[in-house]
Chain A
Amino acid sequence: MIIGLDVGGTYTDVVLLGDDGIVRANKVRTDSKALFRTVQSGLDTIIEGIPPDQIRRIVLSTTLTTNAIAQSKVSDVGMIVSAGPGVDPEFYRTNPHYEVISGSIDHRGREVEAVNAAEVEEAVRKFIEKGIRHVGVVGKFSTRNPQHELLINEQIRSHFEKVFLGHQISGTLNFPRRIATTYLNAAVYPIHKQFFEAVQQSLEQKGLKIPIHIMKADGGTMNFESSMNFPAQTILSGPAASVMGSLAFAFDDEDSLVMDIGGTTTDMAVLVNYVPVLNPLGICLGPYKTLIRSIESHSIPVGGDSKISVQDGVIHVGPERIGPAMAYGGPAPTPTDALCIMGQIKNGDRNKAIQGFQDIARGLNCSVSDAAVRVFDQTCRMILTEAGVLLNRINQKPVYTIHELQEGYQVAPRKILILGGPAPYFARHFEEISDFRVGVVPRWDVANAIGAALARTTCEVSLFADTQQGIATSPEELFSMVVNRDFSSDDAVQTASDLLRQKAVRQGASPEELIVEVIENQQFNMVKGFYTTGRNIRVKVQIKPGLINEYDAIAGILSTE
C-alpha cells in the first residue's frame, strides 16, 4: 500500500491506497505553525491498525518551503556570483550577502577570465563573520562549463555546512534565474532538512522503514536524499499534486483542462495525452523567477467565496474573499450564495443568501433570483475566459525553427476536469454556455493526496557537445567526456538517456518504469571560413510527469468508483 499526504493551507489530506483503490482517506486541519505535528496526526489516523510491512511507499507534499519563502522565514545565505561581460549582476541581487567576483566563461564554455582566489577568500571571510552556514555559488554560463563553480567550491566548502552550485540546478541557460534558484535552495535547506529528518524519525518509530518521496512542482517526485540537494523543488507542489490526482480520472488521451475551483481562487492546468503541460522555464514566486520546473498553471482570484459587488450595473466577482458565503454565516454575497438561491446547493441558509443578494438585485435592477442566475453565469464565463488566457499562453510560446512554427502542436482542449466543492454545479453550467464536455473528478476532496501517492519520479538531463573542442558535457550531472568528430546527435541522445536513467533511479524511480522522452535535439554545423569545423549539439531528455506503472490498476479502479 502507498500513503499520499498533501499539506494544504487549510486542510491536510491523507490517503492510503491499496490494490483495490482507496483503503482510507482522511482530512485533518493544518496547523501552519506546527506542520510537523499536522503531518504526524495525519499519518497516525491513516496507518492505525495497518501492519507496517504492508506499506511500501510514502509520498509527501507540503507547503513548508513555500510558506517559509512567502513569509521570509528563511535562513541567511551567502551568494558568490561571477558574471563577466553583459548585464550588471548587481541587478540580480537576491539577498544582503551577495558578493560579485571576477571570472568569466563564454557561451561555448571557454574560460575568458580566471577566478581570483583572493576575492573568494574575502567573500568567505565576510560570510563567516556574519555566521552564515549555507552558500550559493553561481557563474554565468556555468551550465556550459562548471569549472569555476567547482574551483570555488573546493576552496570554500570546508567553511560551511552546505554549498549549492548553480550548474547543478538545471541545464537551462538563464543566469538570473540560476542565481535566484540557487539562493532559494540554500535558503530553505535548513528548514527542509530539519522537517524531513523529523518525519523520517517519526516513521521509523512507527516501524515504517520505507523510502520517503517528496512531491515537486512539476508533478513528479524525488526521494528524501536528493531533496537535500534541491529542497526548493518542493515549492508549490500542492497544486501539482491536485493536477496529478485528476490525471487518475482523465477521460482519455485527448487534451483537457483541469480546473480546481476553490473558495478564493481557481487554479487551471492543461493535460495533453495524460501529461500536464510544463512551464518552459520555471516557477515565479513573489520576486523570484526560478528554474524550478513546474506545471504550467494559471491561478485567478475567482472562487466559490469570492465577494460579489455591483457597480454601475456591472457585476464584479472577486478579486477578494472576505469570508465564507452568507448562506454559511459569511459577511458578503458570493457565487455560492447564488447557487443557494438557485436551489442547487441545499444545505446552506437560503434566507441569508437572499438577504445578501438584495443590494445586488437592486444594482442590477432585477429580481433576486434573476440576479443569482446572472452572477453565477458571469462567474462561469470569467473562469472560461481565463482558461482561454492559459491556452493562449501555451500556444503563443515562442519557437525557433520553421518546422516548429508550422507543425508545432497547438493545444485545443474540448474537455474540462473539475475539482472543488462547487464543481458539479459549475460543470453543468460550463456545458450549457460552451462546447466543453465537463467531468467532475469523483474523489476531488482527496485528489491532491491521491496525486501525490501515485506520482512518478521525474527528472531532466541536458547534454551539450562541441566536437570542435572535442567534448560532451552535462554539467548538472558532473559528466564530461572526450568525443571525436563523428559524435552525432544520436550518440548525444544515447548518452543523455543513460545519464537520465541513472539520475532517475538515484532520485527514487524504479528502473523498470523509465520512459525517456527527448524534448530537445538540435545539431548545428560549426563553420569557420567556409569549412565545417565541428558540430554543436544540444540535447535535453526527461522523464515526464505521470502516474507510477504498478498502480495503473489502482487508477483504473479509482476512475470507475
Chain B
Amino acid sequence: MNTNIILSGVGGQGILTIAAVLDTAALNQDLFIKQSEVHGMSQRGGAVQSHVRISDKEIFSDLIPEGKADLILSVEPMELLRYIPFLKKDGWLVTDSEPFINTSNYPEKDDLFEEIKKHPNHVIVDATQIAKSIGNSKVANMVLLGTASAIIPLSEDSLLEAIKTLFQHKSEKIIKLNLEAFAEGKKVAEGITNLAANQ
C-alpha cells in the first residue's frame, strides 16, 4: 500500500488539520508516514500545500514526485488546479466549491469548474455550505475529508479516532461538530458511484 495525497489551500485555511488527522490515523494503523508542510512567508495569505505520503513500507522522499499523487484534496478550487502536474493519470480531485478571493486577478469561478471537470475523477463539494448548515463554516475541512475518505486507504474507525484525539482538549461540542462534518462529507461520496466503487 502506497498513497500520495496533496492537500492545498490558502495560508490560514486550515489544511494542516486535515494533515494531522491523516498522520494520526496512519500511525494508529502502524503505517509509515511522511508529511511535508509550508511554514513561513506563504502562510500570510499565499498559496500553501502539504504532501502526505502513507505506506506500509519505508518512505524516502518527503515530496511527492510529479505525476504520482493519488488524490489532490483542496479547500479552494483554484488551489486545487495549481497542483495538477502532480496528479496521477487516474488520480482523484476533491475540492470545496467556495473560492477564496484575495487577489485582484482571481479567475471566473465557472472557468475553474470547467477546468476541473475536464478530469474524469473529480468531486466538487459545497463543503463550506454544508459546514455552515451544521453550525460552523470552519469545519468545511472535515466535510472534505469525509468525502475524500472514500478514496483514502485508511479505515473510517481510525480516521474518527484521530479526529477525537486531535480535538481532545476542545469541548465535547466541537468534537461532535467535527465528527458530524466528517459524516456529512461522507454522505456526499455515497452519491457518486465510481467513488464508492473505489472503496
Partners in one complex: no
